């Protein structure tokens, strides 16, 4: 009887974690470059008790274990903004940004200029080029970003293009090792960044979230129903346990 309660509780705990993951996906359905998460579960077989007095072997108990999350790195749809500083990446590469905690990586290509003329993310983190931060002059105009990430401008009233830098694009042999840090940023975790020459930059576009809103809402309803069913089952087991104890207490000695 206690085993049924513990197994049900393990499943309920896993469902609670899954609900958190689904809710976070739905909350970021409009976040540029966001990658959806999925929960991973596995069976945990409880070792049997060992005692010579048992006539037969005990059955192994199967619990639900929250193993972790799997990140869907499939490319989200591209939306045209016509903003010359917005970029979408066709491929598996990431932009590199500088934060107070070190280099971080993002797929959010909604870029802008700060007061110092630096190219930064929405959160204000400088976007790094192959030679460091990318800085524009006040007289720069007609910004052009080529497919390989090279940024050129027309300086002042001249007609000659000037290069302001080249976006640094990196990829990872195993992107699942990346860790989400918040603000749409990733840390390398146990992985290592490598230069990416295959991905292509699309100027004037941003990559939207790859979350399927309808599928996530359906999954939330499914998880909520399963959680409620497990709660009902646990309450029934608790009542059964309570009744058994009461009836055993009434048995004459």
Residue 189 region by backbone torsions, left for phi larger than 0, else alpha for psi between -120 and 50, else beta: left
pLDDT of residue 99: 96
User: Is the CB of residue 147 less than 8 Å from the CB of residue 200?
Assistant: yes
pLDDT of residue 156: 77
The structural domains of the chain, with segments of one domain joined by +, span 2-73+212-247, 78-207
pLDDT averages per 10-residue partition of the chain, 253 residues = 71 87 95 92 60 56 73 95 96 97 96 96 96 94 95 83 95 93 91 93 97 95 91 82 75 62
pLDDT of residue 55: 55
pLDDT of residue 253: 58
Residue 205's nearest CA partner among 84, 87, 37 is 87
Q: Checking DSSP bridges between strand 119-120 and strand 128-129, what pairing results, if any?
A: unpaired
List the strands of the sheet with 161-166, edge to edge.
Answer: 140-145, 150-155, 161-166
pLDDT of residue 243: 80
The pTM of the full predicted model, rounded to 2 decimals, is: 0.82
> Tokens 């705990």 — which residue?
13
């Amino acid at each position: 009887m206690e085993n049924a309660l513990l197994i049900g509780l393990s499943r309920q705990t896993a469902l609670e974690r899954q609900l958190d993951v689904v809710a976070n996906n739905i909350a970021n359905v409009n976040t540029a470059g966001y990658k959806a998460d999925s929960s991973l579960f596995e069976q945990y077989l409880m070792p049997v008790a060992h005692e010579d007095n048992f006539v037969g072997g005990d059955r192994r108990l199967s619990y639900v274990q929250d193993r972790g999350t799997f990140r869907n790195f499939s490319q989200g749809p591209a939306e045209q903004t016509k903003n010359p500083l917005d970029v979408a990446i066709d491929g598996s590469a990431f932009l590199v940004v500088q934060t107070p905690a070190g280099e971080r990586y993002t797929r959010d290509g909604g870029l802008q200029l700060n007061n110092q003329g630096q190219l930064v993310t929405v959160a204000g983190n400088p976007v790094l080029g192959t030679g460091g931060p990318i800085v524009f002059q006040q007289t720069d105009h007609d910004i052009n970003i080529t497919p390989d990430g090279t940024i050129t401008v027309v300086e002042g009233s001249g007609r000659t293009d000037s290069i302001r830098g080249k976006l640094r694009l990196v990829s990872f042999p195993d992107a699942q090792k990346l860790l989400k840090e918040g603000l749409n940023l990733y840390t390398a975790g146990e992985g290592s960044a490598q230069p990416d020459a295959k991905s292509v930059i699309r100027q004037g576009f941003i990559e939207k979230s790859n979350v399927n809103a309808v599928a996530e809402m359906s999954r939330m309803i499914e998880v909520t129903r399963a959680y409620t069913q497990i709660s009902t089952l646990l309450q029934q087991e608790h009542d059964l346990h309570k009744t058994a104890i009461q009836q055993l207490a009434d048995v004459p000695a």
